Amino acid sequence: AGMAGAFLMEIRRGTQSALLVIRYAAAELPSAPVEVSVCADSLEVRSGGSCDAAALPAGVSLAPSSCRGLRCLRGDGLHLRMRLRGPPPAADVVFTLRESLKPNKNYIFYCQSCGDIVVKDRKFLRVLPLPSENWSDLVEEWCCHPDPFARSTLHPQHGDCFLGDTFFLLNSGNESHLPESLKSKENTRVICKRCKTMLGETVSSDTIKYYVTEVIMQPAEGSFSPTPRSQFVQSMVAQCLLELSSAKSTFRFTIKGDNGKTYILIWLLNSDTLLVESLGSSSSHSVFTLFGDTLTPSSGPVGTWNAVKVLYQPCIKCRNKELADAWENDMGVHPLKFPSETCLELLLILGLSTTSLPPSLRCMNSFQVRNSFY
């Protein structure tokens, strides 16, 4: 009883397989027998005289004869695995920062939190990627003589935009719309004039670093369209993970704050996940209610989301310090730097997402599991 068509289906595009969890509204298992009917394009659940049905999204077609591994877990519901009849819909194209910024076009930069204009009507003659932040550490391994780049700095000119893994560098020039700066011992934080959110740092007297999680860039001819904060943060972080894992075959990451502290360890499991969930369940979009945000489903009573699946460990208050130290010294782990406040936001988003999953799917070994949407 209380099914209301509540289900969660996790589809792997690569293997064309699916895990289906039919979830209960209550923690206790129903007293009446439950009958589950799996069709190619729909699911039906009968229990105690009630019948709930849900149609699957277009393009998702199951192979009912492949159902296996049926089990009933208290607190979770019914679990079963099956194969798909064909490939599910392809993931929407993820536009990276490198692809979204084009030379010889005018852009306006907005504060993501409040929508205030940060940089007005800027045209770039060059949009160039920067090497990895730890590139200088590798020079000694490649050069048989002293570092030839020791006195070199990569600072953009007025018509340049340099792109890093989690930030971009702009020449401040005579820009009249620059935000305020707050000086500290280690750096100069760039603060939004309106909402006082940290947007980036000043790297030199004429260079500003903006973090991709804090600023929205749009063509000057367009209009600003706000995105819910938590949705934007997880989307940008997921894009960073996808791009780096594809370009560098890197799957382990440390999330660091601008204060140098490590906040989260992330291990990317896969990037081909499609989540299908009925909106009557304890659904994924309810994760974001703390921020007042919701993820809008693709259409109808069943929502679909492209997601990357990650394992993570929090490192605040000296948690997992031994593991964090080991990852810090591992060349196979890639550091990602964000404002410290954003690191805490991301950790909260991860925790809320984990609690929305069925209990049996929340952990793997000592790590917690999270689906991050993009």
Q: Give the residue-averaged pLDDT of 138-167.
A: 78
Could you tell me if residue 297 is inside a domain? no
141-to-137, 144, 145, 248 alpha-carbon distances in Å: 8, 8, 10, 18
Amino acid at 68: R
For residues 199 and 235, membership in a common domain is answered with: no
Query: Can you tell me the mean pLDDT for 110-131?
Result: 91
The answer as to whether 243 is a domain residue is: yes
pLDDT category at 288 given cuts 50, 70, 90 is very low
Q: Does 363 reside within a domain? A: yes
Q: Does residue 286 sit within a domain?
A: no
Q: How far is residue 261's CA from residue 76's CA, in Å, rounded to a whole number?
A: 36
Question: Does residue 196 belong to any structural domain of this protein?
Answer: yes
Q: Where are the beta strands (DSSP E) in 31-105?
A: 34-38, 42-47, 50-55, 62-73, 77-84
Last residue of a domain, one of 33, 55, 89: 89
CATH number at residue 45: 2.60.40.790
Closest to 1 measured CA to CA, from 48, 44, 54: 48
pLDDT at 247: 85
Task: Give residue 27's domain range.
Answer: 1-89
Asked if the model's pLDDT at residue 265 lies above 70, the reply is yes
Mark whether 66 and 123 lie in a shared domain. no
Give me 71's structure tokens: 């089990």
- As for how many domains the chain has, the answer is 3
pLDDT (tens digit per residue) in 229-252? 998 999 899 989 998 998 888 899
Of 89, 114, 132, the residue at which a domain comes to its end is: 89
pLDDT at 63 over 70: yes
Q: Same domain for 17 and 144?
A: no
- Considering the domain architecture, whether residues 250 and 233 belong to the same structural domain is answered as yes
Is 283 among the domain residues?
no
- DSSP class of 23: E
Q: Render pLDDT for 160-216 as a digit per residue (tens, 0 to 9).
A: 999 999 999 999 875 555 677 655 545 689 999 999 999 999 988 889 999 999 999
The CA–CA distances, whole Å, from 354 to 132, 293, 329, 359 equal 31, 17, 28, 9
Measured CA to CA, the distance from residue 235 to residue 96 in angstroms comes to: 11
* pLDDT > 50? residue 133: yes
Residue 219 has pLDDT above 60, yes or no: yes
Same domain, 115 and 17: no
175 with 120, same domain: the answer is: yes
Closest-CA residue to 171 (of 204, 198, 214, 199):
204
- Give residue for tokens 């009446």: 32
Please tell me whether residues 341 and 240 are part of one structural domain: yes
Q: How far apart are the first and last CA of the chain?
A: 34
Whether the predicted pLDDT of 85 surpasses 70: yes
Are residue 323 and residue 354 in the same domain, yes or no?
yes
168 and 60 belong to one structural domain: no
Is 239 among the domain residues? yes
Residues 202 and 264 reside in one and the same domain: no
Same domain, 368 and 237: yes
Q: Which of 89, 116, 139 is the last residue of a domain?
A: 89
Which residue in 135, 207, 212, 131 sits closest to 167, CA to CA?
212
Q: What is the pLDDT of residue 41?
A: 92
Element (H, E) at 274: strand 262-278
Instruction: Tell me: do 150 and 182 sit in the same domain.
Output: yes
Can you give the pLDDT at residue 260? Answer: 93
Q: How far is CA 111 from CA 9, 66, 72, 162, 295, in A?
A: 36, 49, 47, 19, 21
Q: At what angle do helices 340-356 and 229-248 cross, to 10 degrees?
A: 90
Measured in degrees and rounded to the nearest 5, phi and psi for residue 36 equal -110, 125
Mean pLDDT, all residues of the chain? 82
The candidate with the shortest Cα–Cα distance to 372, out of 199, 225, 242, 251, is 242
pLDDT interval class at 299 (50, 70, 90): very low
In a domain, 25, yes or no: yes
Query: Which residues 6+ apart lie within 8 Å of 314 measured at CB?
Result: 263, 264, 320, 347, 350, 351
